[in-house]
Amino acid sequence: MLDLAIIGGGPAGLTAGLYATRGGLKDVVMFEMGLPGGQIMNSSEVENYPGIKEIVTGMELMEPWPEQCMRFGLKHEMAEVKQVKKENETFKVILSNGKEVEAKNVIICTGSTPKRAGFEGEDEFFGKGVSTCATCDGFFYKDKEVAVLGGGDTALEEAVYLSNICSKVYLIHRRDSFRAAPSTIAHVKERENIELVLNSNVKKVYGDAMGVLGVLTVDNDGNEKDLKVPGIFTFVGNNVNNGVLKQDDGSFLCKMSDYGEMVVDLSMRTSVEGLFAAGDIRIEAPKQVVCAAADGAVAALQVIARSL
Ligand SMILES: Cc1cc2nc3c(=O)[nH]c(=O)nc-3n(C[C@H](O)[C@H](O)[C@H](O)COP(=O)(O)OP(=O)(O)OC[C@H]3O[C@@H](n4cnc5c(N)ncnc54)[C@H](O)[C@@H]3O)c2cc1C
């Protein structure tokens, strides 16, 4: 039986593996269905990971992480986990190839995936002007104009965040009112450099080999508007990768938030003894590499404390 099964090999899973093995746990396996590294591997520019002075690609940032972990004995099994169950005191990790692995502790690090809005050019220019993360990419548009798409809390908060960095923010929303906290809406309205583009959607983004040159919007009456911006941030929801926690009767293995995130305390403990969460999958995750890594370390230290 494994001392610890880690599900997902992004920054949270890898750091959990590093701390767990270096902290003395013997049988630790990280189940990752692809290459270890996580969603940041899709980013072309990262400049907010502490200690990294130059802008690096996500791949460059993550490249040394697996080797560092493996040095202390972390094992990587390239496999998709279908389900995690608990029977008596033992966890059962069921892989999509049918194999079943038993573990004393489990840390879920399966991350999240921002939803795509579905407009023309979104995929082509993703990472080259189309972004889903203002904290990550906002600074690349310092003193420039940008667009934000969305009408919920995240979209409005990020529009305010960007308005501190960018010269102007066009906030595009398909309705004439927002579904966000009244205080957040008030903050948006206070900002002179946020222009609302309501009852409108994005028809397409266009650009050249260097990146985005503009965003074409269309309102409910069919009128088009050409915003000459080099960047658009889309906040149209987030899929939390929580499928492994679904039980045969449709319930979740542990307590979840209304948004499908795992509810944890400050030690990354869930409502189930021996089950932990780390990274984007947990409630109130800042969705940053440094925070996911920190969660992984915290969770692993808890597993070690539990195993003493
Ligand atoms: C384009 C882009 C740019 C970003 N830029 C930045 C930035 O500049 N700075 C920053 O700090 N953050 C950035 N982020 C956010 C950052 O990538 C995430 O916050 C961070 O990767 C979360 O780490 P995680 O380990 O929780 O999850 P993830 O990185 O999502 O890793 C989860 C891993 O679990 C695996 N997995 C999922 N389900 C299963 C399963 N059933 N079985 C086996 N494996 C599974 C996945 O393959 C994946 O490798 C960016 C994100 C994107 C998409």
pLDDT tens over the chain, length 308 residues: 999 999 999 999 999 999 999 999 999 999 999 989 998 887 767 888 999 988 888 899 999 999 999 999 999 999 999 999 999 999 999 999 999 999 999 999 999 988 999 999 999 999 899 999 888 899 999 999 999 999 988 899 889 999 999 999 999 999 999 988 898 899 999 999 999 999 999 999 999 999 999 999 999 999 999 999 999 999 998 889 999 999 999 999 999 999 899 999 999 999 999 999 999 999 999 889 999 999 999 999 999 999 98
Residue 184 confidence (pLDDT): 87
User: Is 109 close to ligand 1, i.e. is its CB under 6 Å away?
Assistant: yes
- Judge if the beta carbon of residue 8 lies within 6 A of ligand 1: yes
Give Rg (Cα) of the chain. 21
**Whose structure tokens read 């992004």?**
10
Tokens standing for residue 223: 């009128």
* Residue of minimum CA distance from atom 12 in ligand 1: 288
Q: Which CATH number fits domain 130-234: 3.20.20.100, 3.50.50.60, 3.30.70.270, 3.40.50.720?
A: 3.50.50.60
Q: At 197, is the secondary structure helix, strand, or coil?
A: strand
Catalytic residue among 3, 137, 280, 295: 137
pLDDT of residue 135: 81
Cα–Cα distance, 210 to 123 (Å, whole number): 15
For residue 164, how many other CB atoms are within 10 A of its CB?
10
CATH number of 2-114+238-307: 3.50.50.60
Q: Give the 3-state secondary structure of residue 158.
A: helix
- Closest C-alpha to ligand 1, atom 49: 38
- Which residues of the chain are in CATH 3.50.50.60 domains? 2-114+238-307, 130-234
Burial class (CB in 10 A: 0-12, 13-18, 19+), 206: middle
What residues contact 171, with CB distance under 8 A and at least 6 apart? Answer: 147, 148, 155, 156, 159, 188, 194, 195, 196, 197
**pLDDT at residue number 114:** 87
* Cα–Cα dist 20/284, whole Å: 24
Residue 145, helix vs strand vs coil: strand
With a 6 Å cutoff on the Cβ, whether 38 touches ligand 1 is yes
Whether residue 287 has its Cβ less than 6 Å from ligand 1: yes
